[in-house]
Chains A and B, each alone.
Chain A
Amino acid sequence: MSMNNQGRPSQATMTQDNELPTISGDRGLDLEARLIFELGRDGVTGVDFPDVKVDDSRLHGLRRKAAIGLPGLSEPEVIRHYVRLSRQNYAIDAGLYPLGSCTMKHNPRLNEKMARLPGFGDLHPLAPSVATQGALALIQELMRWLTTLTGMPAVAMSPKAGAHGELCGLLAIRAAVQARGEHRNRILVPESAHGTNPATAAFAGFVVDEVPAKPDGRVDADALKAKLGPDVAAIMLTNPNTCGLFEGEIIGIAKAVHEAGAYFYCDGANFNAIAGRVRPGDLGIDAMHINLHKTFSTPHGGGGPGAGPVVLSERLKDFAPLPLLVADGEGFKLIEDRAELPAGAKPFGRMCAFHGQMGMFVRALSYMLSHGRDGVRQASEDAVLSANYILASLKDIMSAPFGDGPCMHEALFDDTFLEGTEITTLDFAKAMIDEGYHPMTMYFPLVVHGAMLIEPTESESKESLDRFAAVLRGLAEDAKAGRKERFEGAPHYAPRRRLDETAAARKPILRWKPSALPEAA
């Protein structure tokens, strides 16, 4: 007991005024944060620098005339602002975060520490190669882990996220098709695919042709094979797919694709279900991006940064983009110029400046070394086991469209169990927020009505999974019993109630503007 209430113990009495609005707008530990632009004032700074005068002689007459308009704050004010903001976020560190397809698993702090070693975090990308041998050796070692785990001969490291990796893979395919003197402009994409797949195919200049799913949630292999032809450059298939199911006919599909002269792109977003057990190279895949921020747990950071290295088959490896990492007698070297290419290399171009997401590489390798091959395999198995456990715990009360067989790392439900309740998937998800959980992925994949895609990951204890299942069961029971008050208008206990997204889109306000001042000229 602290000094302040010594001798004056409080009583746990309850009054009826707990909905009383507060004077401050804050409510106990629920602290509001004004905009930083509403807090600052002129002449204050959180960083001390001397006021150095400079003359204009080297500024080409382009010295800034107008003020920028940034607010001034001291360090304590800045820290308080961001700490207050942080408390309005849900996080995997705080609770189960079952976003299917997004893979919210534990982010080990060792990996953060390793990425901040000055030899990595404070290393310039264009420092001479004598100064960067350790970094290049680390990339080489990560490449070895990635190619070994996938059973593929090569990997392009520079893509900065999954969608960027998709683009890299499709550009390699495009270059390979061109190198054969062919014109193939069609890409087959299952209708259950991530939105990035068709977007990337279109971005890379291809025509997208959708392939339907079968009633069992797998791609219709016959329909896919029927669509193959001399104008098909590639198929893009996610495996395990977005319904959380393994595409059992994948080897036959790959064979047909190759016989038709096309390439097999695999969306590797769900590699975390099979890593250490199945090698995509054995399935006939030609290119697959690996989301280091999913499978290898580099933190999602509120929407990035990610990293999306792309493993490539024998048929595609020569087309990998610049830069290339090679080892010679003297050590490692980055090939950044076409004049220095190793034999056979025909890079399609460059994905970005420099050589990729080194900070993520360090974290991913730290994760891999920590897990080892046995830990990687165990993590995949636990992820699959946990998803099946959730499926088994809830399929009697929530509707699982493909619940007859085992799933992979995600348990998929639809909204059939809510029929007649006037409660939607959205309502159900928002009610989970009141229970202290982040909602699952909803309304994706598109092939299932009112989809709820739950990915518990390997990071949850059995007790945590039991509790989560019990809460969802309780919600499903309440929904079926017509207790709509739990769902309508939920969440009730979050920092905000439901937000008006329609108004936000109709009249977009995308930045703060000083209200008292006229528009800056």
Chain B
Amino acid sequence: MRYLPLTANDRRAMLAKIGAPDIDALFRDVPKEAVVPLSAFDLSETKGEMEVERILAKLASRNMAAGAGPFFCGAGAYKHHVPSAVDHLIQRSEFLTSYTPYQPEISQGTLQVLFEFQTQVALLTGMEVANASLYDGSTGTAEAVLMAQRLTRRSKAILSGGLHPHYAETVETVAGLSGQVHRSPVTPGKAEDIAALIDADTACVVVQSPDVFGLIRDLKPIAEAAHAKGALLIAVVTEVVSLGLLESPGAQGADIVACEGQSIGNGLNFGGPYVGLFAAREKFLRQMPGRLCGETVDAAGKRGFVLTLSTREQHIRREKATSNICTNSGLCALAFSIHLSLLGEEGLTRLARINHAKAAALAERLSKLKGVELVTPSFFNEFTLKLSKPAAGVVDALAAKHVLGGVPASRLMPHEASARDLLIVAATETNIDEDFASFEQALGEVLA
């Protein structure tokens, strides 16, 4: 086996040094009845690289990759171009094959990356502090709700109907254990009056912008209403590129921001791994979940970085920790950070404008088709169409024409009658005019 360096001779010599007659002797504490022969496992034997490549490439070929044709799916995961330098750098051994930086003297690379990442996230979201990443946007949203419950000592979380349903279900699963989670009705293309739902028991309101239909939400009045009642505003962003063009959640009064960072530096990966960006007001720092990296000096007076405030964390506080999280999304955070460094202020703002321009052009074009109506008056790079037919069937029919034409809202909210005919469509810098033309033609044919 090519990954195992020990030879049969080595093994014999090592057993002799140990003073064990055979390998079984080392497993002597295992109850006899629990030891099974290899034949108990109905699994294949060792394979060489070529064989494994063949098997997996065959499976991969049965999927329709986003880059294989006209592609317009979004709803929480977006197809963007990732510069070649990003993937090259994250595959450097020193980043790829290192552990959580518990030994700062020999982990300054990872630690400085995390410090820069935290700064980038804070700047983008308009918040004062950010952590070193969580698993993804959805789990980050659940952590934000728990954090708000701790901070306010109140139990109720109010979720906007525009929050991605997977995020809402994740919040319900975790935060519903100790508190109440109230989901506001779905209002496609409109902002609900969520401020009216805030009462004295409310720990937080959770509002996504752009929302799951693509609609841009004005967070300011919600923040004001929440604060007036002693509640917190949690802003959720699933398309982080939007922050290159839109007012940051921090500037609109958000107290905690949970954001999916996949769009920058990370591929679609069929849903994971992604990277959760998590930022908050500085005064809430001690209740933040996850790892934090801080600046300090070494014994020789040189600037250096360490994991800090770990008294919040599970390995120190055990059952009193702010969260049970241990592993985060280090390598995805690195990819995010490298891509954002490449983009810089100018690259990101240009990228964001291109995304919006592409989406605006596509929305204009598609909404002229018979049986198509634009539902979202405002949007960033994703909008929702109301079709003359159920959207799920339309998406399948489009796929048969090799167009991945968006996400049917019914996939995310199957019980929402109003969602049946809604199609959520995203356009990014990766789309070209030819894609638009193919989509327009295919959709026209399917709806005819």
Tell whether, in the assembled complex, residue B345 and residue A119 are in contact, meaning their CB atoms are under 8 Å apart: no
Q: How far is the CB of A40 from chain B (nearest CB, A)?
A: 6
Tell whether, in the assembled complex, residue B10 and residue A461 are in contact, meaning their CB atoms are under 8 Å apart: yes
Asked whether any CB of chain B lies closer than 8 Å to the CB of A201, the reply is yes
Across the interface, which residues of B come within 8 angstroms of A194, CB to CB?
Answer: 315
A499 to B105, CA, bound (A): 7
Tell whether, in the assembled complex, residue A160 and residue B342 are in contact, meaning their CB atoms are under 8 Å apart: no
Across the interface, which residues of B come within 8 angstroms of A93, CB to CB?
Answer: 93-94, 96-97
Tell whether, in the assembled complex, residue B93 and residue A94 are in contact, meaning their CB atoms are under 8 Å apart: yes
Task: Kindly identify which residue among B35, B167, B293 contacts A353, using a CB–CB cutoff of 8 Å.
Answer: B167
Q: Which residue of B lies closest to A102 (CB)?
A: B99
Q: Which residue of B lies closest to A380 (CB)?
A: B27
Residues 85-107 of B contacting A (Cβ, < 8 Å): 85, 87-107
Q: How far is the CB of B163 from chain A (nearest CB, A)?
A: 11
Tell whether, in the assembled complex, residue A70 and residue B43 are in contact, meaning their CB atoms are under 8 Å apart: no
Tell whether, in the assembled complex, residue A52 and residue B135 are in contact, meaning their CB atoms are under 8 Å apart: no
Asked whether any CB of chain B lies closer than 8 Å to the CB of A50, the reply is yes
Across the interface, which residues of B come within 8 angstroms of A97, CB to CB?
Answer: 99
Tell whether, in the assembled complex, residue B306 and residue A504 are in contact, meaning their CB atoms are under 8 Å apart: yes
Given A86-B109, A354-B77, A248 and B324 contact (CB-CB distance below 8 Å): no
Tell whether, in the assembled complex, residue A87 and residue B63 are in contact, meaning their CB atoms are under 8 Å apart: no
Given A199-B318, A510-B129, A495 and B273 contact (CB-CB distance below 8 Å): no
Across the interface, which residues of B come within 8 angstroms of A205, CB to CB?
Answer: 177-178
Most B-side CB within 10 Å, residue of A66, A355, A374, A465: A374
Given A124-B77, A503-B296, A378 and B1 contact (CB-CB distance below 8 Å): yes
Tell whether, in the assembled complex, residue A282 and residue B320 are in contact, meaning their CB atoms are under 8 Å apart: no
Tell whether, in the assembled complex, residue B3 and residue A370 are in contact, meaning their CB atoms are under 8 Å apart: yes
Tell whether, in the assembled complex, residue A33 and residue B135 are in contact, meaning their CB atoms are under 8 Å apart: no
Given A62-B218, A385-B23, A389-B18, A119 and B314 contact (CB-CB distance below 8 Å): no
Asked whether any CB of chain B lies closer than 8 Å to the CB of A75, the reply is yes
Residues 458-474 of A contacting B (Cβ, < 8 Å): 458-462, 464-465
Across the interface, which residues of B come within 8 angstroms of A162, CB to CB?
Answer: 326-327
A495 to B91, CA, bound (A): 21
Tell whether, in the assembled complex, residue A491 and residue B270 are in contact, meaning their CB atoms are under 8 Å apart: no
Given A50-B350, A375-B46, A499-B104, A305 and B327 contact (CB-CB distance below 8 Å): yes
A499 to B10, CA, bound (A): 40
Task: Kindly identify which residue among A106, A245, A300, A353 contacts B136, using a CB–CB cutoff of 8 Å.
Answer: A353
Given A60-B218, A300-B100, A121 and B268 contact (CB-CB distance below 8 Å): yes
Given A362-B56, A370-B3, A511 and B164 contact (CB-CB distance below 8 Å): no
Across the interface, which residues of B come within 8 angstroms of A357, CB to CB?
Answer: 272-273
Tell whether, in the assembled complex, residue A355 and residue B270 are in contact, meaning their CB atoms are under 8 Å apart: yes
Tell whether, in the assembled complex, residue B292 and residue A510 are in contact, meaning their CB atoms are under 8 Å apart: yes
Asked whether any CB of chain B lies closer than 8 Å to the CB of A225, the reply is no
Asked whether any CB of chain B lies closer than 8 Å to the CB of A104, the reply is yes
A171 to B174, CA, bound (A): 9
Across the interface, which residues of B come within 8 angstroms of A49, CB to CB?
Answer: 347, 350-351, 354, 429
Asked whether any CB of chain A lies closer than 8 Å to the CB of B166, the reply is yes
Tell whether, in the assembled complex, residue B94 and residue A86 are in contact, meaning their CB atoms are under 8 Å apart: yes
Most A-side CB within 10 Å, residue of B85, B271, B407: B271
Tell whether, in the assembled complex, residue B124 and residue A68 are in contact, meaning their CB atoms are under 8 Å apart: yes
Asked whether any CB of chain B lies closer than 8 Å to the CB of A365, the reply is yes
Besides A60-B216, A133-B62, A164-B139, 6 more A-B contacts (Cβ < 8 Å) are: A89-B107, A124-B77, A300-B98, A349-B173, A372-B43, A505-B311
Some 22 contacts from A to B, beta carbons below 8 A apart, are A35-B115, A49-B350, A52-B357, A60-B218, A122-B79, A125-B272, A133-B63, A135-B63, A148-B43, A274-B27, A299-B96, A301-B90, A349-B169, A349-B172, A353-B260, A369-B56, A370-B47, A372-B44, A372-B47, A405-B28, A406-B26, A438-B99
Q: Which 3 A-B pairs have the closest CB atoms?
A: A119-B60, A354-B271, A301-B331
